[in-house]
Amino acid sequence: MHLAKQVLYQATASPQKPALAYPGGVATYTALAGAIRTTAHQLRSVGLEQGNVVAIDVRNPLHHTALILALELCGITSVSVQTGFSIKVSGLKLDAILVDRFASPPPDVRTIAPDESWFAVNPWVPAAEGPGIAEDQYFRIVLSSGTTGIPKCVGLKPRVIERYLLHGYVWPLVSGWRVLSMLGFSTSAFMVPLTAVAWGGLACFAASPEEILHTIRLFGVTQLFVASMQLQGLIDAQAGGYEPCPSLRMINVSGSRIPSGLLMRTRAQLCNNVIISYGSTECGLVATVPAAAVEGIETAAGYAMPWARVEVVDENGTVLAPGEAGRLRVWSDEMAEYVADRPDDRNLAPDGWFYPGDVGSVRADGLVMITGRSAEVINRGGSIVAPELVEEVLVAKAEIAQAAVFGVTNDKGFEEIWAAVVPRQPYRDEEVLQFCRQRLVEKTPDVLITVDAIPRTDNGKVMRNRLREIAVQRRKANMPRI
């Protein structure tokens, strides 16, 4: 399926119907189609061609959407990124990166800065014809850190995208539902807004919790896609003056478990129909369940989807009986593949199974239960964070001699990123955190603490459990928070 051509068809059938809504305004299908046509023409004029791999670091939702679809139309693989640092860490090889004025592109990649003329409706631009994405080519590459916390390149070919559409997205959108996804273009949830506009719906965008709540009410959003920690922000934003969101028919929550108190408030204040989803970029949607059906079971991740199989194995790979705890492994029709740009990349599923790094069990009735992670990675509300990656950034700051990163569960039931640092010289917390934000975005530490030395084992391994004990002691002592 060619999503770009599907959107161009919608522009012919319903030219003045709104396609995108965002803080900068509303774009009709005519405006979106015009932006796609003009952008495709501009991409060719700067020498980009079929088979290239191009990154997008652009904030404007209309521009970002048009770029994805225009690149597809030209047969060019796209990847949405939040910072140039993520490209460096992943090892992704690019032919170019498209950036706006807010971006800091990597120095060794060809940089193209589209201006407003790229997205204007221009009747003189030729018809938007192009080769499209070949069947053996990647439509999109997504930087996923679901197993280790270190970004890896996951390639999604057209067959996988078609299965995404058939399995998880088309059914609620065919009637023109209005969706808002808080999960961003850089995740596999990029399919939510693209599917909405491909089928004649409205895709909404907003940044802050206050903007999101306003957008839901203003445009009658019917579906909200959100990570659990983001959901907490929406509920907190309502605390100052509760206003209902009567248009919402469903909230789809992914990333990590929903604390029972938060779930109760969400169903009371936002929408009673809350859906829990479990999956990954590598395997797509694996399990889902209405929250009301598993009330009181906080480890429930959902029932395995018809196209997915979930098993639990021990350390030797032996399949365990229903209800027994061990490592989860997944097989799915939506299985993607790693783009091996680094010598240390492994096959996605060397034995035919994908191991997401989760520990849990599967009940006899098929309910998947997630109880933890099999490694020292941090699940910050759906963002999987490798401590080593954050430590690498921290020690790159001149004032920091050593750093150790670990997860601490806060009083709302979410895991936070804490960093213990040994300073080389006096430092300011906010300067260090801003340095991290420019490279790590949502993986930036929530709290910094200063220690005289990092506790380690005899073989030099960081004793993260000991650091958690120190963190808990300091929190009880009402340590000032960042």
For residue 121, how many C-alpha atoms fall within 13 Å in the half-sphere facing its CB? 10
Find, among 319, 313, 327, the residue nearest to 359 by Cα.
327
Identify the CATH homologous superfamily for domain 170-333+352-374. Answer: ANL, N-terminal domain (3.40.50.12780)
pLDDT at residue 265, as a whole number: 87
Residues of the chain with CATH 3.30.300.30: 386-476
Cα angle: 316, vertex 279, 320; to 5 degrees? 25
442-462 pLDDT, tens digit per residue, is: 889 999 999 998 888 766 678
What gap in Å lies between CA 216 and CA 234, rounded to an integer? 11
Q: Give the residue-averaged pLDDT of 330-351.
A: 73
Residues of the chain with CATH 3.40.50.12780: 170-333+352-374
Q: DSSP letter string over 412-449?
A: TS-EEEEEEEEESS---HHHHHHHHHHHHGGGS-SEEE
The CA-atom distances, in angstroms, between 249 and each of 54, 273, 291 are: 36, 7, 14
Give me the chain's average pLDDT, please. 86
Q: Cite the DSSP H helix spans in 248-323.
A: 260-269
167-184 pLDDT, tens digit per residue, is: 655 555 555 689 999 888
194-242 pLDDT, tens digit per residue, is: 989 988 899 999 988 889 999 999 999 999 999 877 888 888 888 777 6
pLDDT at residue 98, as a whole number: 94
H or E stretch including 326? strand 326-332
Share above pLDDT 90 across residues of the chain, in percent, rounded to a whole number: 46
Quick one: tokens of 395? 């020690």
In CATH, the number for domain 386-476 is: 3.30.300.30
65-100 pLDDT, tens digit per residue, is: 999 999 999 999 999 988 777 787 788 889 999 998
Q: Using the 8-state DSSP alphabet, how is residue 3 labeled?
A: H
Q: Cα–chain-centroid distance for residue 370?
A: 19
What gap in Å lies between CA 161 and CA 340, rounded to an integer? 20
Quick one: tokens of 138? 């990647």
